Amino acid sequence: MTRPLLTDARRPLTFSIDAMNELGELVPTRIAGEHPLTIYVDNRELVTLMTLGGAPEALTIGYLRNQRLVGSIDEIAAVQVDWEVNAVAVRTRSGQGIAPERVEKRTVTTGCGQGTVFGDLMDELDRVRLTTDRRLDQATLYATLDSVRLHESIYKQAGAVHGCALARAGEILMFVEDVGRHNAVDAIAGQMWLDDLDGDDKLFYTTGRLTSEMVIKAAQMGIPFLVSRSGLTQMGFELACQVGITMIGRAQGKHYLLFTGEERFDR
Amino acid sequence: MTRPLLTDARRPLTFSIDAMNELGELVPTRIAGEHPLTIYVDNRELVTLMTLGGAPEALTIGYLRNQRLVGSIDEIAAVQVDWEVNAVAVRTRSGQGIAPERVEKRTVTTGCGQGTVFGDLMDELDRVRLTTDRRLDQATLYATLDSVRLHESIYKQAGAVHGCALARAGEILMFVEDVGRHNAVDAIAGQMWLDDLDGDDKLFYTTGRLTSEMVIKAAQMGIPFLVSRSGLTQMGFELACQVGITMIGRAQGKHYLLFTGEERFDR
C-alpha cells in the first residue's frame, strides 16, 4: 500500500503574553498553543480535538486508530490539515466514511476522564498478548529518562503540556508534546502506523499519570514497557497486572518505582 | 422543587500496593482509586466515566449539567449509585430521558482533550456575562491558596489526582479530587446545583492547567475568578480575554501570575 497523502501543517508551538506577578511587575510569559481541530472523514464531521498543533496529521490518524474508527493505515488515502478553518480532511480509500456501527458504539460510551470507549476496549484487552521475550535493564531505563529530559522543549518553555515518547534501547524514536495527554499518545500511535512500527521492542514514556486509559493504549500498541514520571491509579494498576505489562512510575533521574511486570526487568 | 433523591456512595479513595524501588526494596505505595461509573438516564446507557469515586452523585449531576444534557436540577428526580455494578441510575421527573437532539449534538463534537462539546459551548460563551462588581485582593488570594493546601489529602497520599475547589472570601466551600480534572470540575458544578449556589461571589481553584475547557466551564458556572497552580494555554488565554474572567496561574505560596481581568484584582 502507498502511504497516505499528508500535509505537514505544524503550528508555532508557543506564544508570548505579558502577565503581572505579585510585585506588580510585567513578566513576559511563554504559553503553549492550543487550537481546535475538527476532523472530517469523507466530508462528514466526526469530532473536534483541542491540540498544541505539533503533529496534527499523526494525531488525526492516531485518534482514528485508538478510537477503533479505522482498522488499518491502509484504509486512509489522505489526511490534509487546513488551519485556515481549523479542520483536517481525512479521505478513506473506500470513500464510505466511518462505518455507522463504529460511530454508534463510540457515542454511547465515550466521555472524557471521561475519555474511554470502555466496554469495547475491555473486551479487546482480553485478546492482547504482550511479548515476554524482551527485557529492560536499569541502565537502559536511566538512559531513556535522560534522553526524555533533553526533548521536553515546550514543557520547559511554557508548561501546560504533557509529553510522550516512544523509545527503543534507550533511544527516543518519537517525542510528542500536546495540551492533552490523550492527544500526545494518539499522535505517537498515528506515527507508528505511518512508519509501520510495531510495539514489541519499544518502551512508552509519558509525563502523565498511569491511569487505566494509558495502560489500555500502551497494551493496544503492543508495547511491553510503560514508564511515567508520575504516579498511578488503582485501575491502571489492575489493568497492568491483567495485561502483564511492565509498568514503572515516579521515574526521574536515578529513582523509580517498579509496579508490575518485574519478570522483564533487570535491576 | 424538592431535592433529588440521592445515595451517598463514596468509595475508599486510596489503596496500598507494594512497589520495588531502584535499590530493590519493597516500598508500600498509596495509590488513588479509579473506577468505571456508567451513567444510565431513565434506564438508557449514556456514558462511562472513570472516577476516584469521592463524589459520584455530584459528579453525575455535574456531568449532565456541563455537557448540557439537562437544563436544570429540577429536571432530576433521583441519582442512585450502585458500585456492585459500577453504575448510577438517574431518574428524570419527566421520565423521558435525555432529548435525542441533545445526545446527537454531543456525538458529533465530543472528544477527549478530546473533551469539549465545542461548537455549542462557543455559542453559549457569547452569552455569558460575568459580574463586574466583585473584587479579589492579594491577601484573600493567599488565604485561599493556604486553605487549598490543607485540603489536598489524596494528592498528598497518592498523587495521580487533580483537585478543584470552590471558594468564597478565602474560605473553601467545596473541595473535590478526582483522577480526571474534568470530573473534579463537574462534581463541583453538580454540588453547586444541589446546594443552589451561584458563581457570582466565588473563586474557582484548580490544580490543573488553564485550558480552553477550564475557562469555558468556570464562565458557564458564572464564576468571575479562576485560579490555578499550573500554567495556561493560548486558547485558555484567548477565551479568558473574550469572556472577561479574572485568571491567575502559577499560584502557589506567595507567588502568582495575573493573566487577565486585572480590573477585578487589587494587589
Whether residue B115 and residue A118 make contact (CB cut-off 8 A), yes or no, is: no
Return the CATH number at A216.
3.40.140.10
Backbone angles phi, psi at A264, to 5 degrees: -95, 0
Residues 6+ apart with CB under 8 A from B39: B45, B46, B47, B48, B49, B60, B63, B64, B87, B88, B90
Question: What is the rounded average pLDDT of the residues A62-71?
Answer: 89
B140 and B43 both lie in a single domain: no
pLDDT band at A121 (very low <50, low <70, confident <90, very high): low
Cβ neighbours of A36 in B, within 8 Å: 116, 118, 212, 235
The pair phi, psi for residue B139, each rounded to 5°, is: -65, -40
Task: Decide if A77 contacts A94 (C-beta within 8 A).
Answer: no
In which region does residue A97 sit, left (phi positive, over 0), alpha (psi from -120 to 50) or beta (all else)?
A: left
Domain boundary (B82, B117, B152) is at B117
For residue B76, the domain's CATH number is 3.10.20.10
DSSP 8-state assignment for residue B250:
E
Q: Grid cell 497523502 — which residue?
A: A5
Judging by DSSP bridges, how do beta strands B136-137 and B162-168 pair with one another? unpaired
CA pair distance A11, A33, nearest whole angstrom: 8
Report CB contact under 8 Å: B34, A233: yes
Which residues, in sequence order, are CB contacts of A93 under 8 Å at separation 6+? A74, A75, A76, A77
Is the same domain home to B242 and B140? yes
Residues A173 and A101 in one domain: no
- In chain A, the number of structural domains is 2
B256/A21 Cβ within 8 A:
yes
**What confidence score (pLDDT) does residue A203 get?**
98
Give residue A119's pLDDT band: very low, low, confident or very high (50, 70, 90).
low
Give backbone dihedrals phi and psi of B175, rounded to 5 degrees, phi first.
-140, 125
In a domain, B123, yes or no: no
Of A80-89, A204-213, B100-109, the poorest mean pLDDT is in: B100-109
In-domain check, residue B176: yes
> Is A122 among the domain residues?
no
Are B100 and B151 contained in the same domain?
Answer: no
Alpha-carbon distances, residue A64 vs A69, A184, A258 (angstroms): 5, 14, 32
Separation in Å, CA B265 to CA B54, B141, B201, B246, B254: 33, 10, 13, 8, 15
Which candidate from B51, B158, B254 shows the least CB-CB separation from A22?
A: B254
Under an 8 A CB cutoff, do A35 and B257 touch? Answer: no
B80 and B25 assigned to the same domain: yes
Residue A49: is its pLDDT beyond 60?
yes
Residue B131 lies in a domain: no
**How far does A234 lie from chain B, in Å, by closest CA?**
5
A256 and B CB contact within 8 Å: yes
The last residue of a domain, from among B117, B147, B180 = B117
Q: What angle do CA B224, B229, B234 make, to 5 degrees?
A: 70
Asked if residue A131 is part of any domain, the answer here is no
Our CA angle for B231, A191, A146, nearest 5°, is 55
Residue by residue, pLDDT tens for chain B (267 residues) are: 688 999 999 988 889 999 999 999 999 999 989 888 989 999 998 888 888 999 999 999 999 998 888 999 999 999 999 999 999 999 999 999 988 777 655 433 333 334 444 556 677 778 888 999 999 999 999 999 999 988 877 777 777 788 999 999 999 999 999 987 788 999 999 999 999 999 999 999 999 889 888 898 899 899 999 999 998 989 899 999 999 999 999 999 999 999 999 999 998
B51 touches chain A (CB under 8 A): yes
pLDDT at residue B116 in the model: 43
B196-201, Cβ contacts within 8 angstroms, sequence gap of 24 or more: B196/B73, B197/B166, B197/B173, B198/B222, B199/B223, B199/B224, B200/B131, B200/B134, B200/B224, B201/B134, B201/B168, B201/B169
- Write the DSSP symbol of residue A10: P
| Whether A184 contacts A206, CB under 8 Å | yes
pTM of the full predicted structure? 0.86
**Interface residue A234 vs chain B (CB under 8 A):** yes
Q: Is A116 on the interface with B (CB under 8 A)?
A: yes
* pLDDT higher than threshold 70 for residue A217: yes
* Facing residue for A50 by CB, picked from B113, B158, B180: B113
Confirm or reject contact between B40 and chain A (CB < 8 A).
no
Please indicate if any CB of chain B lies within 8 Å of the CB of A241.
Answer: no
Per CB-CB distance under 8 Å, the chain B contacts of A33 are: 233-234
CA gap B252, B231 in Å, rounded: 12
Of residues B24, B36, B235, nearest to A50 (C-beta): B235
- Span of A7-11, A17-21, B115-119 with lowest mean pLDDT: B115-119
- Residue A124 covered by a domain: no
pLDDT (mean) for A70-87 = 95
Q: Is the minimum CB–CB distance between B28 and chain A shorter than 8 Å?
A: no
* B97 and B180 co-located in one domain: no
Single-letter code of the amino acid located at A177 = E
Shared domain check, B110 and B174: no
Same domain, A216 and A106: no
pLDDT for B105: 52
Cα–Cα dist A71/A58, whole Å: 15
pLDDT digits (tens, 9 = 90+) for A89-106: 999 999 999 887 776 554
Indicate whether A113 and A145 sit together in one domain.
Answer: no
The three cell numbers locating residue B32:
488513588
Q: Please determine, for residue A113, whether its predicted confidence score (pLDDT) is greater than 50.
A: no
Q: What is the pLDDT of residue B1?
A: 66
Sequence-distant (≥ 6) Cβ neighbours of residue B43 within 8 angstroms: B89, B97
Contacts of A257 in chain B (CB under 8 A): 19-21, 27, 29
The answer, for A179 touching chain B at a CB cutoff of 8 Å, is: yes
Last residue of a domain, one of A68, A85, A117: A117
Same domain, A105 and A140: no
Does residue A151 sit at the B interface (CB-CB below 8 Å)? no
A107 and A196: one domain?
no
Are A113 and A167 in a shared domain? no
Contact A220, A131 (CB under 8 A): no
Taking 3-state DSSP, the helix, strand and coil percentages for chain A, each rounded to the nearest 5, stand at 35, 35, 35
Unique residue bearing C-alpha cell 489529602: B153
Instruction: Tell me, yes or no, if B27 comes closer than 8 A to chain A by beta carbon.
Output: yes
Q: How far is A117 from chain B (nearest CA, A)?
A: 8
- Residue A68 contacts B where some CB pair is shorter than 8 Å: no
Confidence of residue A261 (pLDDT cuts 50, 70, 90): very high
Residues 6+ apart with CB under 8 A from A74: A1, A93
Q: What is the DSSP letter of A11?
A: P
Q: What is the pLDDT of residue A107?
A: 37
Residues in a beta bridge with A86: none
- Tell me if B251 sits within 8 A of A45, measured CB to CB: no
By residue range, what is the domain housing residue B94?
5-117
